[in-house]
Amino acid sequence: MGLAQVDNKALTKFLKGLLHRQLDQASWQWLTTKLDNLNNDPQLRNFYLTFSAVPRYLGKASLQLTPEDIHQVSALRPGFQMNGWTISQTGRALVVCAYPYSDPETFIKIIDQLFSTAEVSELVALYSALPVMPYPEKLKARASEGIRTNMSVVFDAVVLNNPYPSKYLDEGAWNQMVLKALFMERPLFRIYGLEERSNLSLSKMISDYAHERWAAGRPTSPEMWRPIMEHGTISIYQDLEQLIALDDPDQQSAAILAAKALNTRESQAFLDQNDSLVKQLENASITWDKIGERWWSKQQMN
Amino acid sequence: MFIDPHVHMTSRTTDDYQAMRDAGIVAIIEPAFWLGQPRTAVGSFQDYYSSLVGWERFRASQFGIKHYCTIGLNSKEANNEALAEQVMEILPLFACKEGVVGIGEIGFDDQTETEDKYFRQQLELAKELDLPVQIHTPHRDKKRGTTRSMDVVVEHGIDPGKVVIDHNNEETVREVLDRGFWCAFTIYPFTKMGNKRMVAVVQQYGSERIIVDSSADWGISDPLAVPKTAGLMERSGIPQEDIRLTCYQNALTAYGQSGQMDESDWLDAATVDQTQLFEGNSVLRGQRPDTKSDIIS
């Protein structure tokens, strides 16, 4: 079941292990002393101050992960990733997850206060740790709130490399998230569960969005067709024809991959019609991830 | 490279940010102040402080400018005692955040007893947290208000080397420097310093512990006051080193004592913190500023 909590003991032990390896003696000492103090005397003021003070004592270096670590991270919760995390981000996740909350109601009260007074990197740390927090089912509204942000670093923390949204968001919130990711030109291939959560309503929204962009003479991301499903009002096949007509290899590959996933009689006819493109795609082993990575690196160069 | 160590960006537009960046401003400090009219609830303060360490910091990063702030209860609003009590309770939540380089701007406005009370309480907070202090000196009865502010700081046993006295003029500069405080000047049309007068001050007093800022806010003010003053100093024959000290280094030295502001924050921005990278942020995608063209696409 997706609602299961992460084994908190295993998690805190693992995070401590990662930090112990990378911190110098003084920083490690500071951290363990603070954690012990909070465990023995869970005063809220000290909890908030410790959470804020983490970068002052642990520094902002990147967290180093071995292949074995990466394996263990995803064993804690499928889809959970710590690639690209900083030491401080890890320290903050540990402080939040190790605190002895008495019950779910107290947890959410404390976490809400933490969120509502957080600065930018604190928000990033909190949102990226959503999937491993105690009582994750209490955090649905908070995750939706995070998606409403206009700070792209914060948006990324909730949306990218994070299994929380696909597990816990309802369809409406999920669809808004994907559309907003497109709107903010975020890399869709880093959204966990993009295909699994695809739905007809989202497909329609994506098609409408593409038409809006085309009407304005603006470019569209080839990745946007990844979660598409067949839908009634506007024929998806017209959209795919339009992609072929754009005469851009990535847009054309997107059309072929989308048609393959649709797996209908019409999509097969479309593939037959574009037989040479299908062969090209198969010869070059082009995948959605590859298309996404290429689009993303083009965006970075603009 | 310039630092504007006193500017209220919350009141400014993205055009300002762009012009500041183009003029060479790499870092700014936004003091917590009032918003032109008094707030009536503690939640308004909480959201304001929150925006100083959140949204405004992010907005600045879009333009490649490092944003820092000071946190405090300003003297005007300190006069609402019932509210001031509640604000004092939430200050510690923000004072230790990353990028908070001091307690400020605090001090006197009408020089009432209530202002005095919260000024002192906040000095004690700064002492407890070992943070620099940024002091706003009053518009009215300025000379006495400035002297009194310094007296109170000394009475609380705070090192003048950790305190910036702001909005000085020709009448206050000597005492502030003589007593060992940092002496900041606000280049602000009509009510504060003009930059020709500023040049004369540097010619007379040199550059030690003297800081230039804009205090640009919601009033008629100029977010380019620091680079413009630096330009005027240069044309007036003031040595480069004095310009560097007054328009960059002194502010960095004074507020760097917080441990929250370091030159490497903007010099090695790319390697220090990838997540804060200007180019990696995309709120402006689709509304990307472009001064070179008047085509709106």
Residue by residue, DSSP assigns chain A as: -TTPPP-HHHHHHHHHHHHHHHS-HHHHHHHHHHHHHHHHS--HHHHHHHHHHHHHHH-SPBPP--HHHHHHHHHHSTT---TT-BHHHHHHHHHHHHS--SSHHHHHHHHHHHHHT--HHHHHHHHHTGGGSSSGGGGHHHHHHHHT---HHHHHHHHTT-SHHHHH--HHHHHHHHHHHHHTT--GGGSTTTTTT--HHHHHHHHHHHHHHHHTT----GGGGTT----SSS-HHHHHHHHHHTT-HHHHHHHHHHHHHH-SHHHHHHHHHTHHHHHHHHHTT--HHHHHHHHHHHHHH-
Q: How many CB atoms lie within 10 A of CB B207?
A: 20
| SS3 label, residue B31 | strand
Cβ within 8 Å, pair B92-A49: yes
Partner-chain residue, chosen from A117, A153, A217, that has the shortest CB–CB distance to B281:
A153
- Test B54 with A120 for CB contact under 8 angstroms: yes
What's the pLDDT at A5? Answer: 80
- Establish if A185 touches chain B: CB-CB under 8 angstroms: yes
**Closest to B32 (Cα-Cα) out of B87, B73, B84:** B73
Residue B83, both tokens: 């509210």
Tell me what percent of the residues of chain A surpass a pLDDT of 90: 85
Residue B192 lies in a domain: yes
H or E element at residue B102:
strand B100-107
Q: Calculate how close chain A gets to B129, using CA atoms only, in Å.
A: 11
How far is it, in rounded angstroms, from Cα B258 to Cα A258?
54
Closest residue of chain B to A87, computed from CA coordinates: B273
**Contacts with A122 from chain B: Cβ below 8 Å:** 97-98
Contacts of B49 in chain A (CB under 8 A): 117
Which of B272, B279, B283 is the closest to A300 by Cβ?
B279
Question: What is the arithmetic mean of pLDDT over A172-183?
Answer: 95
Q: Report pLDDT for B268.
A: 82
B102 with B41: CB under 8 angstroms?
A: no
Nearest-neighbour CA in chain B from A240: distance (Å): 24
Measure the CA–CA gap between A11 and A97, rounded to whole angstroms: 8
Q: Could you read off the pLDDT of B59-69 as tens digits, one per residue?
A: 999 999 999 99
What is the domain range of residue B178?
2-276
Looking at residue A7, its amino acid is D
Q: How large is the ipTM? A: 0.77
Q: Where are the domains of chain A?
A: 1-169, 197-302
Does residue A100 surpass a pLDDT of 90? Answer: yes
Q: What is the mean pLDDT of residues B192-220?
A: 94
Name which of A60, A84, A183 is nearest B272 (Cβ-Cβ).
A60
In whole numbers, what is the pLDDT of chain B averaged over residues?
90
| Residue B168, CA atoms < 13 Å, CB-side half-sphere | 29
Percent composition of chain B: helix, strand, coil (DSSP 3-state, to 5): 45, 15, 40
Mean pLDDT in residue range B247-271: 90
Partner-chain contact A152 B98, CB within 8 Å: no
Q: What CA–CA distance (Å, rounded) separates B231 from B242?
A: 12
CA distance A66 to A64: 7
Q: For chain A, give the mean pLDDT.
A: 93
Torsion sign (Cα): A232, A235, A239, A241: positive
Helix (H) or strand (E) holding B100: strand B100-107
Q: How far apart are CA B230 and CA A208, in angstroms?
A: 52
Task: Please report the residues numbered 78 through 137 in chain B whose beta carbons come closer than 8 angstroms to any beta carbon of chain A.
Answer: 90, 92-94, 96-99
Instruction: Describe the strand order of the beta sheet including B133-136 as a list of residue ranges.
Output: B2-4, B25-31, B66-71, B100-107, B133-136, B163-166, B182-186, B210-213
- The 3 state secondary structure assigned to B234-245 is HHCCCCHHHHHH
Average pLDDT over residues B221-231: 95
Q: What is the CATH number for B149? A: 3.20.20.140
Q: pLDDT by residue (tens digit) across A228-250? A: 877 655 578 899 999 999 989 99
As a whole number of angstroms, the distance between CA A253 and CA A272 comes to 14
Please indicate whether, in this complex, the C-beta atoms of A119 and B272 are within 8 angstroms of each other.
no
Predicted local distance difference test score (pLDDT) of residue B120? 98
- At A66 the pLDDT is 95
The confidence band for B197, taking pLDDT boundaries of 50, 70 and 90, is very high
Q: Does A9 touch chain B (CB under 8 A)?
A: no
Cα–Cα distance measured from residue A183 to residue A110, given in angstroms and rounded to the nearest whole number: 33
B30 - beta bridge partners?
B69
Residues 6+ apart with CB under 8 A from A78: A163
H or E element at residue B178:
helix B173-178
pLDDT at residue B33 in the model: 96
B53/chain A closest Cα distance in angstroms: 5
CA distance B49 to B100: 10
pLDDT the model gives residue B191: 82
Q: Is-contact B81 B123, C-beta < 8 A?
A: no
User: Which residue in chain A has the smallest CA separation from B296?
Assistant: A216
Task: Assess if residue B59 is contained within a domain.
Answer: yes
Q: Which residues pair with B68 in a beta bridge?
A: B29
Q: Does A117 touch chain B (CB under 8 A)?
A: yes
Report the chain B residue with the minimal C-alpha distance to residue A52. Answer: B97
Least confident window among A14-23, B176-185, B190-199: B190-199
What DSSP state is assigned to residue B289? Answer: -
What distance in Å separates the CA atoms of residue A36 and residue A40, rounded to the nearest whole number? Answer: 6
Chain A: nearest CA to B28, how far in angstroms? 17
Decide if pLDDT at B113 tops 50. yes
**Residues A187-196: pLDDT tens digits?**
999 999 999 9
pLDDT, tens digit (0-9, with 9 covering 90-100), for B147-186: 999 999 999 999 999 999 999 999 999 999 999 999 999 9
- Tell me the per-residue pLDDT of A213-228, one tens digit each, with 9 for 90 and over: 999 999 999 999 999 8
Joined together, the tokens standing for residue A223 give: 């990745």
**Is the residue at B208 inside a domain?**
yes
d(CA A70, CA A79): 11
Cβ-based contacts of B55 with chain A (< 8 Å)? 150-151
pLDDT of residue A234: 58
Task: Using CB atoms within 10 Å of the CB of residue B151, give its burial: 0 to 12 exposed, 13 to 18 middle, 19+ buried.
Answer: exposed
Query: Is B132 inside any structural domain?
Result: yes
From start to end of B147-283, where are the E strands?
Answer: 163-166, 182-186, 210-213
For B48, other C-beta atoms within 10 Å of its C-beta total 18
Sign of CA dihedral A69, A73, A76, A78: negative
Question: A231-236 long-range contacts, Cβ below 8 Å, gap at least 24?
Answer: A231/A200, A231/A203, A231/A204, A231/A207, A233/A204, A234/A204, A234/A207, A234/A208, A236/A203, A236/A207, A236/A262
Instruction: Name the residue among B271, B223, B208, B262 with its Cα closest to residue B13.
Output: B223
B205 Cβ neighbours under 8 A, 6+ residues apart: B173, B174, B177
What's the pTM?
A: 0.86
Residue A49's pLDDT is 87
CB neighbours (10 Å) of residue B72?
Answer: 30
Give a yes or no: residue B281 inside a domain: no
The shortest C-alpha distance from A231 to chain B (Å) reads 28
- Which chain A residue lies closest to B284 (C-alpha atoms)? A184
